[in-house]
């Protein structure tokens, strides 16, 4: 510990303004009116933005479904309505209390299973199923017909907040040539430039993203959040604008690990061979997709586990709800399915009366393995690691 690293909150500029955001009062509601007039009367306030100030008010990677600032409706507690820039954080917070928003509350959908039903309240237009991914390998019905034992189980995992030590922080400043420089705590600056240039309706060479020392991320700083707000306020005021999220905002606004509901059905022979596996994954995306489709794709690819199974069928659903939007986190969807397929493997061993280690030895990939997607992998490291784990654990 030398104290020499410069993190985002250490960045200070002359005449810098401080930004604070007003968030939704309801998890799902139509916005009838936004009146920010009173906020301008608070001493120290120099800038206020709403959706009317955003050049392109929808962003996202696979789905352009997320507003920079809520316009027609709010879809979760984490939706921001307006952002204020003031000479002090206290003045910005005081101004937020002067902004009047008229809502018409709507029914709320928090359970992804309910959200998938035809008569469920829609979070977006059309359907709550944002994506349906399919993987087919062999003929799963034929596999179950060959089985002596069929076992079906359901597993669930919870949402998880990243809790990185440093919260989200960003500072924007406009250079003399009009280029916007955004300092932000992220690990993906190039991906950010693409999205920010589109939101700000600027060419990519008019936007620069710079990264100070990052105080943890674990996937929680992979998606655009506060950067468009400080950039727009810097343009509006002509002054540098910095925003630092509180710990409360980290829990109620930032993305979380996707909660999964996973149904595993496997067919076994009497001698302990897995001959068929059917998997259904339902991922709670929250109000927006973000990296949800990419995360679910990786989960589906790894869902069957490192086992030789001739017949596999996987269906994975990404479902909108009015919960806080989920996103990337360590393992990118794989820890959830690993938990499920290994718990399921223990159950299968018990059903055929085998030691769980012996059962795994019968079904693990050999030196080379074929994934349900057809990808061939070198599995030597898998068996080596398995053997070493047994040795170290004294099994």
* SS3 of residue 155 by DSSP: strand
DSSP state of 8: G
Supply φ then ψ for residue 68, to 5 degrees: -65, -45
**What whole-number distance in Å separates Cα of residue 104 and Cα of residue 67?**
19
Helical H segments across the chain, by residue range: 89-96, 112-115, 140-146, 189-200, 227-237, 247-252, 292-302, 334-351, 356-363, 380-393
* SS3 of residue 27 by DSSP: coil
Specify the pLDDT at position 266: 98
Specify the pLDDT at position 288: 98
Angle at 297 between CA 295 and CA 300, to 5 degrees: 110
DSSP string, 326-352: EE--TTTTHHHHHHHHHHHHHHHHHHT
Beta bridge partners of 319: 129, 284
Specify the pLDDT at position 187: 87
Q: Where on the phi/psi map is residue 141: left (φ > 0), alpha (ψ -120 to 50), or beta? A: alpha
pTM for the whole thing? 0.95
**What whole-number distance in Å separates Cα of residue 55 and Cα of residue 33?**
20
**What whole-number distance in Å separates Cα of residue 329 and Cα of residue 162?**
7
Specify the pLDDT at position 48: 98
What is the separation, in whole angstroms, between the first and last Cα of the chain?
A: 40
Supply φ then ψ for residue 254, to 5 degrees: -75, 165
Q: Which of 120, 165, 146, 123 is nearest to 27 (CA)?
A: 123
E-strand ranges in the chain read: 17-23, 29-35, 45-49, 73-74, 80-86, 100-105, 129-137, 149-156, 169-174, 180-184, 207-210, 241-244, 256-257, 260-268, 274-286, 311-320, 326-327, 368-370, 376-378
Specify the pLDDT at position 105: 98
Q: Which of 29, 24, 27, 23 is nearest to 105 (CA)?
A: 29
Our measurement of the distance from residue 10's CA atom to the centroid of its chain's CA atoms, rounded to an integer in Å, reads 27
Residue pLDDT tens, the chain, 395 long: 788 899 999 999 999 999 999 999 999 999 999 999 999 999 999 999 999 999 999 999 999 999 999 999 999 999 999 999 999 999 999 999 999 999 999 999 999 999 999 999 999 999 999 999 999 999 999 999 999 999 999 999 999 999 999 999 999 999 999 999 999 999 899 999 999 999 999 999 999 999 999 999 999 999 999 999 999 999 999 999 999 999 999 999 999 999 999 999 999 999 999 999 999 999 999 999 999 999 999 999 999 999 999 999 999 999 999 999 999 999 999 999 999 999 999 999 999 999 999 999 999 999 889 999 999 999 999 999 999 999 999 98
Give 190: exposed, middle or buried? Use CB within 10 Å, 0-12, 13-18, 19+. exposed
Specify the pLDDT at position 361: 95
Read off the tokens for 236.
Answer: 């509006």
Q: Which residues contact 90 (CB under 8 A, 6 or more apart)?
A: none
DSSP state of 364: B
Specify the pLDDT at position 150: 98
Query: Do 70 and 30 meet the contact criterion of CB atoms below 8 Å apart?
Result: no
């Amino acid at each position: 510990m030398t104290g020499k690293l410069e993190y985002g909150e250490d960045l200070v500029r002359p005449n810098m303004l401080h930004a604070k955001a007003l968030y939704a009062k309801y998890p799902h509601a139509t916005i009838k009116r936004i009146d920010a007039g009173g906020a301008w009367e608070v001493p120290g306030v120099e800038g206020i933005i709403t959706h009317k100030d955003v050049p392109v008010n929808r962003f996202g990677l696979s789905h352009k479904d997320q507003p920079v600032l809520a316009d027609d409706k709010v879809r979760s507690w984490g939706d921001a309505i307006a952002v204020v820039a003031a000479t002090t954080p206290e003045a910005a917070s005081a101004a937020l209390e002067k902004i009047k928003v008229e809502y018409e509350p709507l029914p709320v959908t928090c359970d992804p299973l309910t959200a998938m039903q035809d008569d469920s309240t829609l979070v977006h237009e059309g359907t709550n199923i944002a994506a349906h991914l399919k993987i087919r390998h062999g003929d799963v019905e034929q596999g179950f017909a060959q089985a002596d034992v069929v076992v079906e189980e359901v597993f669930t995992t919870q949402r998880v907040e990243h809790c990185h030590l440093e919260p989200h922080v960003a500072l924007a400043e406009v250079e003399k040539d009009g280029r916007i420089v955004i300092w932000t705590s992220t690990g993906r600056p190039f991906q950010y430039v693409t999205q920010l240039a589109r939101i700000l309706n600027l060419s990519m060479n008019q936007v620069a993203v710079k990264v100070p020392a990052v105080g943890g991320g674990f996937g929680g700083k992979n998606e655009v959040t506060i950067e468009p707000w400080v950039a727009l306020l810097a343009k509006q005021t002509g002054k540098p604008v910095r925003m630092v999220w509180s710990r409360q905002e980290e829990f109620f606004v930032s993305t979380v690990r996707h909660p999964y509901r996973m149904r595993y059905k496997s067919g076994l022979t009497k001698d302990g061979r897995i001959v068929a596996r059917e998997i259904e994954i339902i991922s709670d995306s929250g109000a927006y997709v973000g990296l949800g489709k990419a995360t679910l794709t990786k989960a589906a690819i790894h869902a069957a586990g490192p086992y030789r199974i001739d017949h596999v069928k996987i269906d994975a659903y990404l479902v909108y709800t009015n919960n806080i939007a989920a996103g990337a986190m360590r393992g990118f969807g794989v820890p959830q399915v690993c938990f499920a397929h290994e718990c399921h493997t223990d159950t299968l061993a018990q059903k055929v009366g085998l030691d769980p280690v012996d059962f795994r030895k019968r079904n693990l990939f050999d030196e080379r393995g074929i994934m349900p997607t057809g990808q061939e992998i070198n599995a030597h490291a898998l068996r080596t690691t398995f053997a070493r784990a047994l040795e170290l654990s004294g099994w």
